Amino acid sequence: MAAKRILFLVGDFVEDYEIMVPYQMLLMIGHHCDTVCPEKKAGDFVATAIHDFEGHQTYSEKPGHRFRLNQDFDSVDPSTYDALVLPGGRAPEYLRLNDRVLEIVRHFAHASKPIAAICHGPQILAAAGVLQGRHCSCYPAVRYEVDASGGSYVAPSAHFDSAYTEGNLVTAPAWPAHPAWISQFAKLLGSKIEA
């Protein structure tokens, strides 16, 4: 397997597990991963948030780790990357307001390069206008944005551990889906993982 160059778009209060775990898993299987955030440079940090399901009407949020970025957002050339990852958390709600973020996402979508989005990450896909006619899983609260953008919402399994692949797009509802989500994304990347 040839190593792929993968771009992660993140921001402050990205979901801790949804950046840390995929980043480390994709590095582990041999891919090159770059992480960027608007208005930040290589060596800067983003704050992460830990979201959990503790029996309340919605998820809870606690401070997570600091995650170090390894590339400058302003110099990112999406044409040099093979795939894109959009983690969830609260970051997507404001990242989708950044025109350059949307431009980068459209590059991957129009070139049919693999895209993995989880939880609230599909908010960015909806804002970029790339879900028309596509099926997409996401955190249930994002369903209305998926539907409003012309996509079709794919409901999660009861334990939020399912992922859905359609063409170049792999989506999932939340971090409990990491094994399914990363496995399906790895297949799109041409990765072979021995059991």
How far, in whole angstroms, is CA 87 from its chain's centroid? 3
Domain boundaries, the chain: 5-189
- The pTM is what? 0.97
What is the CATH T-level fold of the domain 5-189, as seen in this structure?
A: Rossmann fold (3.40.50)
**What does the pLDDT profile of the chain (195 residues) look like in tens digits?**
789 999 999 999 999 999 999 999 999 999 999 999 999 999 999 999 999 888 999 888 999 999 999 999 999 999 999 999 999 999 999 999 999 999 999 999 999 999 999 999 999 999 999 999 999 999 999 999 999 999 999 999 999 999 999 999 999 999 999 999 999 999 999 998 766
Sequential DSSP letters for 131-157 = -TT-EEE--GGGHHHHHHTT-EEEPPP
- Spatial separation of the C-alpha atoms in residues 31 and 53, rounded to whole Å: 31
Catalytically annotated residues: 119-120
